[in-house]
């Protein structure tokens, strides 16, 4: 083999190796460039999300009278959130009986119930609340916050469909894994994943979900939403209506969530109390009282 041929072979091999290195370097550079561009895009998306809703902080401590709690208000027309005790307002907790808003829609959507007159049959169990010890309509069950009525609805719909609808609504953590609940009540029919168990949602998220439903941005039929509105009505004044639902736990937790309506304008709210040191003072009626003062 001639010296010239050896030199030529070595040159070709070196060229191929250098070309391969260059190609790999170009690929690495391209990947890094794409990652940088994606990072910039993500940053812009985050900025857009943060800028899409205006937020203001409120001092509502006087309304809570020493009870630990938070409040979230949302005006769609102004696209503005107003928050008291923001950190607490963003923590996910059990929805308790405020979940009856959603289970009503789930029942209507799946034809388990038809309207506010739909009746579920009482099984004869003597419950602590005497108003629950009879056949109940949806209207009466919602107003008395009857757990067994909505337990029947949820069981008839089934875990898979409930999970699907909660995911589409982006309802808190959407966790229905503890389907039968955590036995916080002595009766099986008075337990469920929404009562001090696996399902959790923040006050901020409660307002987001309410807005989605009543501003017509959910998958629920408008007629079913109107049925829900009927049973949620709390106050009906000439110029303003108030719609809401209470909820409470066993260790100083209480909710009142809903919205006000003036003409076509709605404003959404959620008040949540959690004070285990003063649990004898905490109740859903107190949460409602605080909320009604805030939204006056």
Positive/negative CA dihedral, 70, 253, 296, 144? positive
Q: Tell me, yes or no, whether 267 and 134 share the same domain.
A: yes
Residue 12 has pLDDT above 90, yes or no: no
Q: Tell me, yes or no, whether 24 and 164 share the same domain.
A: no
Q: Tell me, yes or no, whether 24 and 169 share the same domain.
A: no
* Residue after which a domain boundary falls, among 52, 75, 90: 52
Residue 29 has pLDDT above 80, yes or no: no
CB-CB neighbours of 75 under 10 Å: 15
Q: Tell me, yes or no, whether 169 and 246 share the same domain.
A: yes
Q: At what angle do helices 203-214 and 100-109 cross, to 10 degrees?
A: 30
Q: What average pLDDT does the structure give for the chain?
A: 87
Q: Tell me, yes or no, whether 47 and 130 share the same domain.
A: no
Residue 54 has pLDDT above 70, yes or no: yes
Residue 19 has pLDDT above 80, yes or no: no
Q: Tell me, yes or no, whether 91 and 229 share the same domain.
A: yes
Q: Tell me, yes or no, whether 9 and 130 share the same domain.
A: no
Q: Tell me, yes or no, whether 10 and 61 share the same domain.
A: no
Q: Tell me, yes or no, whether 6 and 71 share the same domain.
A: no
How does pLDDT run across 205-248, given as a tens digit for each residue?
A: 999 999 999 999 999 999 999 999 999 999 999 889 999 999 99
List 274's β-bridge partners, or say none. 253
The CATH number of the domain holding residue 82 is: 3.40.710.10
Q: Tell me, yes or no, whether 26 and 120 share the same domain.
A: no
The most confident of the ranges 17-21, 52-56, 93-97 is 93-97
In whole angstroms, what is the distance from residue 142 CA to residue 104 CA? Answer: 9
pLDDT at position 40 is 40
What total number of domains does the chain contain?
2
Q: Tell me, yes or no, whether 119 and 224 share the same domain.
A: yes
Q: Quick one: average pLDDT of 199-207?
A: 98
Residue 25 has pLDDT above 50, yes or no: no
**Host domain of residue 35:** 1-52
Q: Quick one: average pLDDT of 168-187?
A: 97
Q: Tell me, yes or no, whether 99 and 144 share the same domain.
A: yes
Q: Bigger pLDDT: 32 or 265?
A: 265
Residue 148 near residue 162 (C-beta atoms within 8 A): no
User: What are φ and ψ of residue 84, in 5° steps?
Assistant: -115, 125
């Amino acid at each position: 083999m001639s010296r010239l041929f050896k030199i030529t072979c070595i040159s070709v091999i070196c060229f191929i190796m250098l070309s391969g290195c260059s190609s790999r370097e170009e690929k690495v550079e391209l990947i890094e460039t794409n990652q940088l561009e994606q990072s910039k895009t993500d940053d812009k998306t985050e900025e857009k999300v943060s800028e899409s809703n205006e937020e203001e902080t409120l001092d509502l401590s006087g309304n809570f009278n020493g009870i630990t709690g938070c409040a979230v208000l949302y005006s769609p027309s102004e696209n503005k959130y107003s928050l008291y005790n923001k950190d607490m307002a963003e923590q996910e907790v059990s929805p308790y009986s405020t979940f009856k808003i959603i289970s009503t829609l789930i029942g209507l959507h799946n034809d388990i119930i038809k309207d506010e007159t739909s009746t579920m049959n009482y099984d004869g169990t003597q419950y602590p609340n005497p108003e629950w010890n009879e056949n109940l309509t949806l209207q009466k069950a919602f107003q008395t916050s009857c757990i067994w009525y909505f337990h029947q609805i949820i069981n008839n719909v089934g875990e898979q469909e409930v999970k699907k609808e909660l995911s589409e609504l982006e309802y808190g953590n959407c966790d229905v894994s503890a389907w039968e609940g955590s036995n916080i009540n002595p009766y099986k029919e008075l337990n469920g994943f929404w009562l001090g168990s696996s399902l959790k949602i923040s006050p901020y998220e409660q307002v987001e979900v309410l807005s989605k439903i009543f501003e017509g941005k959910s998958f629920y039929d408008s007629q079913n939403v109107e049925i829900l509105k009927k049973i949620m009505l709390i106050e009906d004044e000439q110029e303003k209506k108030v719609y809401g639902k209470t909820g409470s736990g066993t260790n100083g937790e209480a909710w009142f969530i809903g919205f006000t309506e003036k003409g076509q304008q709605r404003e959404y709210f959620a008040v949540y109390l959690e004070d285990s040191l003063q649990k004898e003072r905490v109740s859903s009626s107190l949460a409602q009282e605080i909320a009604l003062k805030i939204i006056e």
